[in-house]
Amino acid sequence: MIAIYFDPKNLKPEHVSFWENYEIHAQKATDKVLADWEQWLQRKEKEPDLEEFSYNFNQDIWKSLKAWLHKEVFHGKCVYCESQLDLDRYLGDVEHFRPKGRVTSAKDQEKRERVSVKVENEIVLDHPGYFWLAYDWRNLMPACSMCNSRAKADQFPVDAECLLMVRLSQEEVNSLLAEPLASKFYPELYYLSPEDLDQRECPLLLNPLNPTPDRDPCEHLRFSIDGSAVAVESSDLGKNSIEVFNLNRNNLVRERKAAIERIHSKYLIAVREPSEKYEERIQNKIEDFVSGVEPYSAAALCYLECFLKRKLRRKR
């Protein structure tokens, strides 16, 4: 897993109209799901036995974005395990980092339980999911089916508590990191952005898209020379991510080992080249690993960093 930074404010001019079009559709679909939810909640206050809230996720909005994100942002890789998705005929699953529907706790892998949440008028519900982020690019990323549907699924472990609607004063709204969505029906209730949710919920899962420095995957995950992922000492974020995304699957460990061998041979070629600019040569040879284009870059870079440190220690 390697950090990926993307900000639509910095799009190339030729991508701007595509992006604006996506945002118009995403906004419309989000308005609809929020209206449906708030209508449902008003009914629930009067009808305690009302069946659970559900909505139809509009796959078309994701489909339009998927191929673009896959190519322009995620280097054609699964955001979690860094496997190439090109071979997968569906270009991978749509992964909602925060589940768009039901939310389960991963505290006990054997017994996943629905997460409950308190909403207006003291109603306690099974968390209906982060439906207001169902079409939000900050919550959407391509992932392989092994990491997504077979491993993570609807798990979302947090250190604090999973939130839904949050009551905020105007002063609190002004101090948020990003603009929240205001409830249309319930005054002073808001749906928070992923950035603000991260601050308050403290997810126990790594998200490689635009991480804050303290949540950068490289601060929490290291890799052994045999290709297995290891949590940095005392990192619950690292430990949980390995478990929930099942990051030590046999084939992944094997592929990471091969990536380590690839970067090592690139390093050897660079040091043998007859040029004096030693560091520049290495930098050029491993550019695709540093930019994250290469599959399993995180493991390869982790290996090279340790290798160079050991080498420098030996020289002293």
Closest CA to 204 of 247, 155, 164, 249: 155
Residues 62-81 that bind Zn ion (CB under 5 A): 78, 80-81
Least Cβ distance, residue 82 to Zn ion (angstroms): 7
* Secondary-structure percent of the chain, ordered helix, strand, coil, rounded to 5: 45, 15, 40
CB 218 within 8 A of CB 84: no
The nearer residue to Zn ion, 78 or 91, going by C-beta atoms, is 78
Q: Does 192 bind Zn ion (CB under 5 A)?
A: no
Least Cβ distance, residue 15 to Zn ion (angstroms): 26
Total of chain residues touching Zn ion, rule CB under 5 A: 5
Q: Does 147 bind Zn ion (CB under 5 A)?
A: yes
Q: Does 2 bind Zn ion (CB under 5 A)?
A: no
DSSP states along 2-30: --B---GGG--GGGHHHHHHHHHHHHHHH
Binder among 144, 165, 209, 301 for Zn ion (CB under 5 A): 144
Least Cβ distance, residue 146 to Zn ion (angstroms): 5
Least Cβ distance, residue 249 to Zn ion (angstroms): 9
Least Cβ distance, residue 145 to Zn ion (angstroms): 8
Element (H, E) at 137: none
Which part of the chain contacts Zn ion (CB under 5 A), choosing from 39-47, 145-153, 266-274, 302-310?
145-153
Q: How far is CA 290 from CA 36, 68, 194, 249, in A?
A: 44, 22, 26, 24
Residue linked to tokens 């039901």: 102
The nearer residue to Zn ion, 148 or 193, going by C-beta atoms, is 148
CB 260 within 8 A of CB 299: yes
Residue linked to tokens 């991978």: 92
The nearer residue to Zn ion, 78 or 204, going by C-beta atoms, is 78
Q: Which positions lie near Zn ion, rule CB under 5 A?
A: 78, 80-81, 144, 147
